[in-house]
């Protein structure tokens, strides 16, 4: 029976699908046919595999008809990582004495072949191994450079090979032939001063005053809510945003795996998961392209900064200066926690459960104030209006918390009695609030209040009657949209979790409304939550 089946994985964004690589070697017109919606890189695998086998001491069936089917046929197959699976399937189909077909059962194979039979590193190994595990496979073979990455997935047995000859020897149980190490992926990254680690040593203890804004930061961190900070230049918007990761708890193992999978898709280095993985912080410049922020690029679609900040913070400073296409494209990820990119026949979906923090000035020069006594703005009113109009209503309606930042007064910065809380103290309260949410949403797909859809929130975790009446009144008066009411409902639960209440009361809802509308908070409201 001259056919054999190997297994590999194709990626649809961050979602993987296991693919059966079936090879049939039979009598007929000498040719090699590859079917099953392969892209150009998979089509080229025929020539790479034929030459690699010849240079590895293996025989390609040159006198017979070779048919290679990638199943299921309706799913597009993309990427050069199918090479090793195709080569092994052809070897097993051509001669069962060289490689028995049963040796490929239960094994997922990933790797690109060079013409001399060596293996090359490929993108997206971690999400592909995760997909294989979810389909019930427990053994995967990858290029040697990806062994540590694949071993991050619990319950998977990982075999690393440096060449096609080594892969065959591993399956046969023979001594491994010599082969040079597999070079890791070259990301093309440039050296950046301090990089994303620049926020690691920033602490809230350095921020005097701003109790209103500090509480908003704490509520946003506790529930995973999006945040908009507005105010004149130098008021402290960036100072607050850069300290937000410091009050977030360490990532859980599954969260760290998801984040590592995104970086694997982007071709970036994937570090081993250990205790104490910190949430990411990404801050693209306002001149960034739509593809770099949301995902895209030439050739294969890659995740953008929004997805690379998964379970962390994406800070978009000078938000009105970003391209209008980027600003309006944020609607979907802000609402649903994922971003879908459709291009031709390729549709890629990447996770985007990221806290988005937007910062903007009141005008282009950053000096405008509603108080004419202190305003030093030189912008014409039409320029101020055009600047503010770039942040559209549908985008701001998807932001949970709005805060207008006022610069710290000189006496607040030098007050010897002022004792700002360090980030570690605030992180303790945030962690406790998140634990309450994890217990409440146990057995559901959600982890944080910001993740829960409105209908489920209303049915399973409703507000009190007086709280519901208050929101209905706001809706009737036009102060809230239905979407806004849902976000206030989520905020009320987060305030409730921080205050260790059993259920949001009227005071929790009133505080949530103020956070949502941008109205100043009272000292009593701040003390009730933060102490």
Is the domain of 409 the same as that of 525? yes
- Pick from 306, 293, 297: which is nearest to 337 by CA? 306
Helix ranges restricted to H, 295-358:
305-308, 324-329, 331-336
Q: Which of 276-280, 401-405, 504-508 has the lowest mean pLDDT?
A: 276-280
Residue 359 shares a structural domain with residue 301 = yes
Q: How far apart are CA 186 and CA 54, in angstroms?
A: 28
Quick one: tokens of 366?
């950053």
d(C-alpha 36, C-alpha 41), whole Å: 13
The Cα–Cα gap between 505 and 467 comes to 7
In a domain, 187, yes or no: no
Q: Is 511 helix (H, G, I), strand (E, B) or coil?
A: helix
| Mean local confidence (pLDDT), 30-52 | 90
Q: How far apart are CA 320 and CA 263, in angstroms?
A: 28
pLDDT, tens only, 16-36: 899 999 999 988 888 889 999
The pLDDT of residue 367 is: 74
472 and 368 assigned to the same domain: yes
Burial 37-65 (b: 16+ CB within 10 A, else e): ebbebbeebbebbbbbbebbebebbeebb
Q: Where is the domain boundary, 119, 138, 172?
A: 172
**Model pLDDT, residue 197:** 61
113 with 206, same domain: the answer is no
| Residue 471 and residue 485 in contact, taking contact as beta carbons nearer than 8 Å | yes
Examine the domain organization and report whether 161 and 266 are in the same domain: no
- 375, pLDDT greater than 80: no
Question: Tens digits of per-residue pLDDT, 122-147?
Answer: 999 999 999 999 999 999 999 999 99
| Residues 353 and 496 reside in one and the same domain | yes
Does residue 55 lie within any of the structural domains? Answer: yes
pLDDT band at 418; cut points 50, 70, 90: low
Q: What are phi and psi of 94, to 5 degrees?
A: -75, -35
Residues 147 and 227 in one domain: no
Mean pLDDT, all residues of the chain: 88
Nearest to 492 by CA among 468, 520, 472, 473: 468
What is the domain range of residue 211? 195-530
Task: Specify if 87 maps to a domain.
Answer: yes
CB 347 within 8 A of CB 302: no
CATH assignment at residue 299? 3.40.50.300
Same domain as 313, residue 275: yes
- DSSP class of residue 33 equals E
Phi, psi of 500 (to 5 degrees): 60, 40
Distance of alpha carbon 132 from alpha carbon 251, whole angstroms = 23
Same domain, 97 and 155: yes
Final residue of a structural domain among 116, 140, 172: 172
Structure pTM? Answer: 0.86
Q: Is the pLDDT of residue 372 over 70?
A: no
What gap in Å lies between CA 344 and CA 303, rounded to an integer? 17
Q: What is the mean pLDDT of residues 321-348?
A: 88
Average pLDDT, integer, range 451-459: 93
Instruction: Tell me what the mean pLDDT of segment 316-337 comes to.
Output: 92
177, part of any domain: no
165 and 199 in a common domain: no
Asked if pLDDT for residue 378 goes beyond 50, the answer is: yes
* Nearest-angstrom CA–CA distance, 142 and 149: 10
Task: Give the lowest-confidence range in 31-35, 206-210, 249-253, 406-410.
Answer: 406-410
- pLDDT at residue 267 greater than cutoff 70: yes
* pLDDT tier, 416 (very low <50, low <70, confident <90, very high otherwise): low
**Residue 94: other Cβ atoms inside 10 A:** 22
Q: Examine residue 182 and state whether it is found in any structural domain, yes or no.
A: no
3-class secondary-structure state, position 360: strand
Phi/psi of residue 341, nearest 5 degrees:
-115, 120
Report yes or no on 189 lying in a domain: no
* CATH assignment at residue 33: 3.30.230.10
Same domain, 161 and 199: no
Retrieve residue 319's tokens: 């938000």
Of 424, 426, 412, 416, the C-alpha closest to 531 is 426
Q: Are residues 103 and 9 in the same domain?
A: yes
Per DSSP, the residues of 214-234 read HHHHHHHHHHT--EEEE-STT
Structural domain contains residue 505? yes
Apex 121 CA angle, 86 and 162, nearest 5: 75
Q: Are 264 and 125 in contact (CB under 8 A)?
A: yes
Q: Are 295 and 348 in contact (CB under 8 A)?
A: yes
Query: What pLDDT sits at residue 206?
Result: 86
Quick one: average pLDDT of 207-221? 91
The number of domains in the chain is 2
Task: Tell me the C-alpha distance between 101 and 21, whole Å.
Answer: 12
Between CA 270 and CA 261 the distance in angstroms is: 8
Cα 97–98–102 angle (5° rounding)? 75
Q: For residue 178, is it within any domain?
A: no
Structure tokens at 55: 């240079």
């Amino acid at each position: 029976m001259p056919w054999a089946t190997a297994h590999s994985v194709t990626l649809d964004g961050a979602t993987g699908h296991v693919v059966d690589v079936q090879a049939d070697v039979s009598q007929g017109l000498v040719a090699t046919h590859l079917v099953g919606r392969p892209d150009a890189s998979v089509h080229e695998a025929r020539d790479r595999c034929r030459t690699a086998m010849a240079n590895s001491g293996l025989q390609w069936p040159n006198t017979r008809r070779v048919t290679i089917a990638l199943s299921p046929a309706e799913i597009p197959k993309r990427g050069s990582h199918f090479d090793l699976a195709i080569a092994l399937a052809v070897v097993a189909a051509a001669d069962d004495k060289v490689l028995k077909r049963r040796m490929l059962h239960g094994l997922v194979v990933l790797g690109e072949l060079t013409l001399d039979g060596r293996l090359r590193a490929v993108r997206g190994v971690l999400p592909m191994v995760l997909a294989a595990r979810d389909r019930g496979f427990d053994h995967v073979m990858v290029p040697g450079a990806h062994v540590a990455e694949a071993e991050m997935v619990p319950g998977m047995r990982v075999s690393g090979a440096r060449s096609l000859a080594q892969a065959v020897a591993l399956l046969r149980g023979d001594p491994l032939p010599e082969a040079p190490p597999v070079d890791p992926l070259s990301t093309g990254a440039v050296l950046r001063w301090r990089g994303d680690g620049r926020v690691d040593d920033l602490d809230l203890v350095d921020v005097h005053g701003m109790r209103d804004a500090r509480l908003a930061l704490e509520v946003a961190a506790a529930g995973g809510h999006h945040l908009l900070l507005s105010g004149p230049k130098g008021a402290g918007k960036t100072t607050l945003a850069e300290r937000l990761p410091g009050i977030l708890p360490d990532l859980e193992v599954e969260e760290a795996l998801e984040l590592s999978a995104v970086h694997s898709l982007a071709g970036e280095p994937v570090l081993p998961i250990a205790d104490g993985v910190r949430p990411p912080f990404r801050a693209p410049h306002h001149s960034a392209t739509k593809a770099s922020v949301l995902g895209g690029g030439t050739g294969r679609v890659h995740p953008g900064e929004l997805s690379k900040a998964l379970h962390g913070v994406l800070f978009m400073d000078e938000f009105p200066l970003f391209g209008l296409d980027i600003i309006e494209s944020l609607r979907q990820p802000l609402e649903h926690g994922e971003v879908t990119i459709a291009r031709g026949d390729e549709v890629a979906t990447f996770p985007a459960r990221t806290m988005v923090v937007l910062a903007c000035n009141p005008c282009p020069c950053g000096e405008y104030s509603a108080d004419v006594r202190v305003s030093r703005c030189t912008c014409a009113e039409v320029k101020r209006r055009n600047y503010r109009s770039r942040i559209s209503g549908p985008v701001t309606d998807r932001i949970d918390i709005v805060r207008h930042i006022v610069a710290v007064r000189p006496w607040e910065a030098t007050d010897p009695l002022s004792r700002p809380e360090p980030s570690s103290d605030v992180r303790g309260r945030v962690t406790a609030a998140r634990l309450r949410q994890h217990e409440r949403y146990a057995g559901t797909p959600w982890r944080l209040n910001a993740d829960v859809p409105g209908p489920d929130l209303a049915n399973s975790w409703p507000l009190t009657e007086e709280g519901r009446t208050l929101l209905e009144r706001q809706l009737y008066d036009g102060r809230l949209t239905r979407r806004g009411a849902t976000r206030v409902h989520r905020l009320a639960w987060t305030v409730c979790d921080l205050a260790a209440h059993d259920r949001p009361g009227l005071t929790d809802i009133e505080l949530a409304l103020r956070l949502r509308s941008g109205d100043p908070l009272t000292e009593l409201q701040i003390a009730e939550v933060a102490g």
